[in-house]
Structure 1
Amino acid sequence: MYVIGEHALSAPAADADAVIRELRDRAEILDALYRFGLGQDLKDKALFASAFAADAELDFRPAAAKWGGRPPVMFGRDTIVTTILTMFTGQVDTTHQVTNPRITVDGDTAQLTALVEAQHLLTAGHAAFALLKNPYEVELIRDGERWVIRRLRIDNAWYTGDPTAIFGS
């Protein structure tokens, strides 16, 4: 589900306290996705793990299907962190850029859609690479003062290079 509302904020402009609360929530929601990307790029286990709820789900199947890949859905923060960082650390150099974020907040849950450009290069030789432009659909929950990802579905708009060199088939 893409966030396609006509306004950035739902709080009434005249209610300054509500606007401030919503702006803080939106910053924290977007930060969860930033922690996801930068945690991978830095191979920082604590930062990457901080992006997810304990019962998180990561579904990369829609993106991988574009080049014939068939990865399983990953369930649970520990499984996601271990799987991704084991696959990339020492083997794949990554950079992630997040653009076009759209957010809706409903109490302690939120929806986020964004485009993420993800560059993946084999560490041993950057001639093998995959550059992906991926639409993300993210469901988040409030976790104290921050927000964490409960469900992340990654699709693919286009790619260049050879994703099978990075992710397998």
Structure 2
Amino acid sequence: MSFPTTLPSLPLREAIVDAVYRFVLSFDTADLALFESAFYPDAVFELKDKVMNGIPAIRAGCYDNVSKLDTTHFVTNVRVNLPDSSETKASVTASALAQHYRTGQGNEPGATRLTSGSLYFVEVEKDDGSDGLWKIRRFKMKIVWTEGDWGVLTGE
């Protein structure tokens, strides 16, 4: 399944938040193009004590594992800070709930899972290139709680 990376006529704040939505939806649909459209090539992604620099590192350290799983990610409590002096840089904060099951086991009763609640802190910028998309420059995920088996993510 593939989704468009650009959506026409989004209001400014929705266009800003769309970078985060493209990122999380790419996991749930295993859509690499959508994933890559959410980031600048030199983006930084922080998860716990791990810092990933650049799309290849973020893909290897995060996307490649999670996109193979049966997942759903929900983003809520989204706030956008767009300073009056800038129409090209913003920050986004949000709460997220993510559910992870091993590949093909999401609909099995009693299947082992990992569910997490996180806070997102995201710096985005408008790409002045041809697509004009807002993209993630820096993404920090603070996992607040988890329930279940971390082996779901690690393949154990």
**Common fold: TM-score over 0.5:** yes
State the partner residue of 2:6.
none
TM superposition shift of 1:159? 1.7
Partner-residue secondary structure (3-state), 2:117: strand
Tell me if structure 2 keeps the 8 A contact 1:93–1:121.
yes
1:136 aligns with 2:120: yes
1:43 aligns with 2:37: no
**Aligned Cα RMSD in Å?**
2.1
Please list the CA deviations of residues 50-105 of structure 1 after superposition, one character each: whole Å capped at 9, or x if unmatched: 000111011111xxxxxxxx5x3111023212443321344x21111110001111
Residue type of the alignment partner of 1:141: E
In 1, Cα distance between the equivalents of 2:154 and 2:91? 27
List, as ranges, runs of 4+ consecutive aligned residues in structure 1 with deviation greater than 4 Å.
none
TM superposition shift of 1:162? 1.5
Q: Identical aligned pairs, as a percentage? A: 37
TM superposition shift of 1:124? 5.0
**Where does the alignment leave 5 or more consecutive residues of structure 1 unmatched?**
1-22, 62-69
1:53 aligns with 2:40: yes
**Where does the alignment leave 5 or more consecutive residues of structure 2 unmatched?**
1-9
Q: 1:85 to 1:156 in 2, by over 3 A?
A: closer
Please list the CA deviations of residues 107-149 of structure 1 after superposition, one character each: whole Å capped at 9, or x if unmatched: 1211100001111111154422111110000011111332100
Larger Rg: 1
Tell me if structure 1 keeps the 8 A contact 2:65–2:153.
no
In 2, Cα distance between the equivalents of 1:94 and 1:130? 10
State the partner residue of 1:101.
78
Match of 1:88 among 41, 45, 66: 66
Partner-residue secondary structure (3-state), 1:87: helix
TM superposition shift of 1:31? 0.4
Of the structure 1 ranges 141-150 and 79-88, higher mean CA displacement relative to structure 2 is found in 79-88
TM-score, normalised with respect to structure 1: 0.73
Matched residue pairs, number?
Answer: 137
Residue type of the alignment partner of 2:101: L
